[in-house]
Amino acid sequence: MSVIIRPIETKDKQQWLNLWTGPGGYIEFYKSLDKITPEISETTFARFLDAKEPVYSLVAIDSSNPDKIIGFANYLTHRNTWTINDALYLNDLFVCQDNRLNGVGRKLIEAVYDEADRLKCEKCYWSTQFENHRAQLLYTKVGVKSGFLLYRRK
């Protein structure tokens, strides 16, 4: 499969929303439809298009159907206390069920790595759920486990 990776554009909004919160989409996979309101989705998409925001999205497109988005990688950059330059956090990675195991996820991650280099980010990292074993199969090929556990506020 030949895949094109490019920055998200205004025209991609409805397709991105469908992959984000639609049936079989990213938010449904994480059983979080009750947490992601339409306002959050609208704000997130607007941030992708705002040059002042350090929030970005890349989309994957099957070159045989260039009008259809088959995956996305949402990421952000931020300051940190361990490096002078920013870090890049890959917040969300999603590939449509029909296009998984075809290298699309890997290509999205590699494109995010390219973005980290372009933005001069010294770190590039992400997290996943312990039970997301399919994703971990890919992640161990393109990255290394950090050795840290992720905690959050109760």
**133-142: Cβ within 8 A, 24+ apart:** 134/100, 135/93, 135/105, 138/105, 138/106, 138/109, 141/106, 142/106, 142/109, 142/110
Task: Please check whether residue 95 lies inside any domain of the structure.
Answer: yes
Give the pLDDT confidence score for residue 112 in this predicted structure.
Answer: 98
Q: What percent of the chain has pLDDT over 90?
A: 81
The model's pTM: 0.94
User: Model confidence over 89-130: pLDDT tens digits?
Assistant: 999 999 999 999 899 999 999 999 999 999 999 999 999 888
What's the domain range around 22?
3-142
Q: What is the CATH number of the domain that holds 107?
A: 3.40.630.30
Q: Mean pLDDT in each 10-residue stretch from start to end of the chain (154 residues)? A: 95 98 93 94 98 98 94 98 96 94 96 98 92 89 88 87
CA distance 29 to 71: 14
Judge whether 133 lies within some domain.
yes
Please count the structural domains in the chain: 1
150 located within any domain: no
The DSSP annotation for the chain comes to: --EEEEE--GGGHHHHHHHHHSTTSHHHHTT-TTT--HHHHHHHHHHHH-TTSSEEEEEEEETTSTT-EEEEEEEEEE--SS-SS-EEEEEEEEE-GGGTTTTHHHHHHHHHHHHHHHTT-SEEEE---TT-HHHHHHHHHH----SPPP----
CA distance 10 to 7: 10
With CA atoms as reference, report the closest residue to 16 among 104, 96, 119: 96
Alpha-carbon dihedral 47, 52, 56, 58, rounded to 10 degrees? 100
pLDDT confidence of residue 36: 95
- Residue 147 within any structural domain of the chain: no
Kindly state whether residue 148 falls inside one of the protein's structural domains.
no
